A = this chain, B = another copy of it.
């Protein structure tokens, strides 16, 4: 067995310790005589798994008691509809467009009411975060929506927008659990698991209780109401049991690593190594405004498409996988989530340095 360094934007690298445990428990989870995949979601053993996952997540993020944690399905894309269907009681919401995913969420919300794009960075290929200190927040807006870390473009909101009293809804898929967060600043946070937390197919929602409403929009399916899942402790129907089990293992791993303060330090250190290299390189350059740089997703280019392609090919041969950039940005992108070890980034920078010396 030989593991590569996997820079995929998602599904993405998971802690090796978690995978080893999962493999060891595959046929017999701790003396139950069955795999977690085979376990009734109503069983005592599974109840322990999902309760521990929620409890560890609450510990990691210091989630206040008046916030509910839901383990759902359908990914962030389904949240693009669930958010307006559940929260748009005035049929109005403000969206800040910082990338493709924010734009998709905005377009989906338009089916359910007045969705207003109150800021955007589309003019420069989403390479920055707009100034959000004094936005034209709509008076009747039910919420202000952001995609907090933009996976494709490599930007991050380092200052949350001034929502002028409106509830903030944040898609945190690609920065979830990468650093401490003050949950009380948000009305609702959601995150697809497949970037920083676990396998695809689980989406985690953290919502303030008063936003889990009975009076959702007409025609909202039972499965798309937060209340359905909140009332049933995420067990209204069979949840993605195995995915939640892996997420739970990642939460425990994060606690063992020292929690989110420590992860933030490690993530800053990893990102600094790569950004410092980019800033002194004559061949490679970052594509994003420095003040808005993500710690998780680092796009870079050489400016020469043929050279970019060669880099992707040769890096792959060197065991550095999935460095090809998103087609809308081009070039390369290194996703360096929690589970990417420092050595992976060191190997990448050494490879880039070498490539630059040979080809630059």
Contacts and interface: CB of A to CB of B under 8 A. Distances in A.
Contacts of A241: 11, 194, 199-201
Interface in A199-227: 199-202, 217-219, 221-224
A199 B37 contact: yes
A216 to B, nearest CB: 11
B74 A239 contact: no
B39 A8 contact: yes
Given A2-B28, A4-B32, A241-B201, A77 B23 contact: no
Interface stretch (A12-20, A51-59, A129-137, A307-315): A12-20
Interface string A218-240: 11011110000000000011111
A4 B321 CA distance: 40
Contacts of A34: 3-4, 6, 13, 321
Nearest to A202: B201
A37 B235 CA distance: 23
Contact of A33 (B23, B218, B319): B319
A22 interface: yes
A9 interface: yes
A299 interface: no
Contact of A243 (B16, B41, B192, B242): B242
A9 B42 CA distance: 11
Interface in A28-46: 28, 32-35, 37-41, 43
B39 A11 contact: yes
Contacts of A277: none
Contact of A73 (B9, B19, B27, B73): B73
A53 to B, nearest CB: 15
Contacts of A189: none
A28 B13 CA distance: 12
Contacts of A112: 219
A40 B224 contact: no
A77 B237 CA distance: 7
A239 B77 contact: no
A219 B219 contact: yes
A342 interface: no
28 contacts: A2-B28, A2-B33, A8-B43, A11-B39, A11-B238, A14-B35, A16-B27, A19-B35, A19-B37, A23-B26, A37-B246, A73-B74, A73-B78, A73-B240, A74-B223, A76-B237, A77-B223, A78-B221, A80-B222, A85-B221, A108-B221, A108-B222, A111-B218, A200-B241, A201-B238, A201-B243, A221-B224, A240-B243
